[in-house]
Amino acid sequence: MNIQPKHSQPLILSGRDVTAVLGPTNTGKTHLAIERMVAHETGIIGLPLRLLAREVYARVCEKVGAHKVALITGEEKIVPAGAKYSVCTVEAMPRETDAAFVAIDEVQLAGDLERGHIFTDRILHLRGRQETLLLGAATMHGILQRLLKGVSVVTRPRLSHLAYAGSKKLTRLPRRTAIVAFSADEVYAIAELIRRQQGGAAVVLGALSPRTRNAQVEIFQSGDVDYLVATDAIGMGLNLDLEHVAFAQNRKFDGYQYRNLSAAELGQIAGRAGRHLRDGTFGVTGQVDPFDDDLVAKIEAHDFDPVKVLQWRTADFDFSSLDALKRSTETNAPVEGLTRALPAVDAQALEHLSKDSDIRALATGKERVALLWEACALPDYRKIAPAQHADLIASIYMDLARHGHVDENYMAEQVRRADTTEGDIDTLSHRIAQIRTWTFVSNRPGWLADQLHWQEKTREIEDRLSDALHERLTKRFVDRRTSVLMRRLRENTMPEAEISPTGTVLVEGHHVGELQGFRFTADQSAGGEDAKAVRTAAQKALAAEFDARAERFAACANGDLALGSDGVLRWIGAPIGTLVGGDEALKPRLVLLADEQLTGPARDKV
């Protein structure tokens, strides 16, 4: 919520009883936080992404039982009666708590231009009664010591080595690689190429719902595909079985401008390669120039420029009037080391709405102004123009101010528009963004007359849309036949072959070609790695079949053979030989029609 209590002095709470656990990726920081939390009677942990919150929630449930654990995000609330532990997104963390333990993950995001002020606020003001852990990158060491007097800093070394592997072509990247790009179009283009050359890729973008993202990650983790094409969404959490990270782009739009990624940002992503004690590598691919020696040295040593300032916004909002609220959001940072954040989505929406005469007429008095600020907290999941987003907030606010809740018919119509699984990847992605908006609305206390109904309805729709999107992504970017065959070949296991009475050859349930007599014709639709996989799998699977056919042929009756007028000798209808001219006119030769795979004793029998 945007409505937050004022803080008594001092402005920044002491760092006493606060421990900052800092280090690169793969240092076990989140695991430590979970272990410390469940060692206390009560606790709260804040994660930077809804996906990570769900992941940690599942892990805590395994340890203490689901009846003791709450999951609280902007779009989802699972709060059992008497829950002892809360797993939240940082935005959804309470600003005051009596919990014995508090942890905040990825605290370096306090320097992020868009969301940083939220992390900063929790770092400065949220404490556990007995223990507080701040988890993040070593770049936060200095700024935390300056701002939090008495903080204890513990650094943790990476458990494995990370090394630069240079530049490689997309088609030459090793198995278990994540290819990183920063736009959906580029991710899709790379995934298409990997599909044609290597059988397929999983796709991970920040805009995917947790359900879709988890399903995509699973086809990579299970070995169905060996490549993952992703945005920097893989930089946080998502413990993946990665051996190499390849950057296909090193520039991104950060919400304000296109810029090169910093060494620390590149290091955060590259660090996903290698897990636990297994070493990892990183490099570049596509049109990205090789990294210079200085950058490589920084990433390999995890030695990055320190965070110098944290983004800050006041929590002491003045709700006495609309104009007073606007002025309070523009309060300057009170101490060195903090800088006033740029206007966030909620502040931009407030600026637009303050110019609307209907809104100004409604937003009178502290309660109405506070309600408007609460409505402005609606996230812009659809990534539309600020004015359009403000219009949506205006519709919701006017219902809340006039009737006390969002109109049921309006809610039903908005939800209905998103409730269809037809369409392509972009269409389904847009619908998921739409339904996430209404899932958020359904989770706001008091916004709907029948809150539970809409929570269930929007969640059910999001799940169906997520499953449909996963199906579309897999259909477009994964060649199931190639991926299955190549996996079996790598495992050196005999593929399961089935040959129909008409000669159709299925390997692992996938059509790979036709077997006529002793000749195999591969599926003509296969190309590149697909064709290679089909041929290799077929050769392995058909070796035993050739031997068995040779035995049956050697023992067959003359009636099973027929010589046609075209000079082709057929065995039970399948061509196995053909007559060609011999040395004498009346003595033609018989040429065996068989693959090279028919060799040795089996060929002699035929």
Q: Is the pLDDT of residue 381 over 60?
A: yes
pLDDT of residue 564: 83
Q: Give me 33's structure tokens.
A: 């936080």
Burial class for 551, CB neighbours closer than 10 Å (0-12, 13-18, 19+)? middle
Question: Which position has the higher pLDDT, 211 or 373?
Answer: 373
Q: Give me 562's structure tokens.
A: 């027929």
pLDDT of residue 310: 98
DSSP class per residue in 355-366: T-HHHHHH--SH
Indicate the helix (H) or strand (E) that contains 134: strand 131-136
For residues 592-605, average pLDDT? 79
Is the distance from CB of 166 to CB of 279 less than 8 angstroms?
no
pLDDT of residue 507: 72
For residues 486-494, average pLDDT? 61
> Percentage of residues in the chain with pLDDT exceeding 70?
92
Q: Which residue has the tokens 């969404």?
A: 233
Q: Give me 543's structure tokens.
A: 């070796």
Q: Is the pLDDT of residue 318 over 50?
A: yes
For residues 164-193, average pLDDT? 94
Closest CA to 515 of 407, 593, 602: 593
Burial class for 564, CB neighbours closer than 10 Å (0-12, 13-18, 19+)? exposed
Q: Is the pLDDT of residue 179 over 70?
A: yes
Q: Is the pLDDT of residue 334 over 80?
A: yes
Is the distance from CB of 297 to CB of 267 less than 8 angstroms?
no
Q: Give me 160's structure tokens.
A: 């494995």
Distance CA 506, CA 463 (A): 34
Distance CA 217, CA 201 (A): 10
Question: Which position has the higher pLDDT, 116 or 574?
Answer: 116
Distance CA 47, CA 107 (A): 9
- β-bridge mates for residue 87, sequence order: 45, 71
Confidence of residue 531 (pLDDT cuts 50, 70, 90): low
For residues 455-474, average pLDDT? 96
DSSP state of 68: G
DSSP state of 150: T
Confidence of residue 490 (pLDDT cuts 50, 70, 90): low
pLDDT of residue 4: 45
pLDDT of residue 415: 97
For residues 364-372, average pLDDT? 96
pLDDT of residue 237: 64
Question: Which position has the higher pLDDT, 346 or 524?
Answer: 346
pLDDT of residue 541: 64
pLDDT of residue 243: 95
pLDDT digits (tens, 9 = 90+) for 541-556: 677 778 888 888 888 8
Local structure of 287: helix, strand or coil:
coil
For residues 560-569, average pLDDT? 84
Is the distance from CB of 124 to CB of 14 less than 8 angstroms?
no
pLDDT of residue 169: 94
- SS3 string, 532-546, reads HHHHHHHHHHHHHHH
For residues 288-296, average pLDDT? 96
For residues 236-245, average pLDDT? 83
- How far apart are the two ends of the chain, measured CA to CA in Å? 81
Helical segments of 479-528, H only: 480-490
- β-bridge mates for residue 20, sequence order: 134, 153
Distance CA 411, CA 441 (A): 9
Q: Is the pLDDT of residue 10 over 50?
A: no
CA distances from 604 to 192, 195, 547, 589, 599 (A): 46, 42, 11, 17, 8
171 HSE (CA, 13 A, CB side): 5
Structural domains present in the chain: 18-155 (3.40.50.300), 162-301 (3.40.50.300), 342-476 (no CATH), 495-606 (no CATH)
Question: Which position has the higher pLDDT, 9 or 432?
Answer: 432
The structure's pTM equals 0.80
For residues 282-298, average pLDDT? 96
pLDDT of residue 479: 78
Q: What angle do CA 354, 360, 364 make, to 5 degrees?
A: 120
Closest CA to 538 of 507, 510, 504: 507
Q: Is the pLDDT of residue 213 over 60?
A: yes
pLDDT of residue 506: 79
Closest CA to 201 of 223, 183, 181: 223
For residues 571-579, average pLDDT? 85
DSSP class per residue in 261-278: PPHHHHHHHHTTSS-TTS
For residues 459-471, average pLDDT? 96
Q: Is the pLDDT of residue 559 over 70?
A: yes
For residues 250-278, average pLDDT? 88
> Percentage of residues in the chain with pLDDT exceeding 90?
64
Q: Give me 406's structure tokens.
A: 């969002």
Calculate the average pLDDT of the chain: 89
- SS3 string, 328-351, reads HHCCCCCCCCEEECCCCHHHHHHH
Indicate the helix (H) or strand (E) that contains 601: helix 600-605
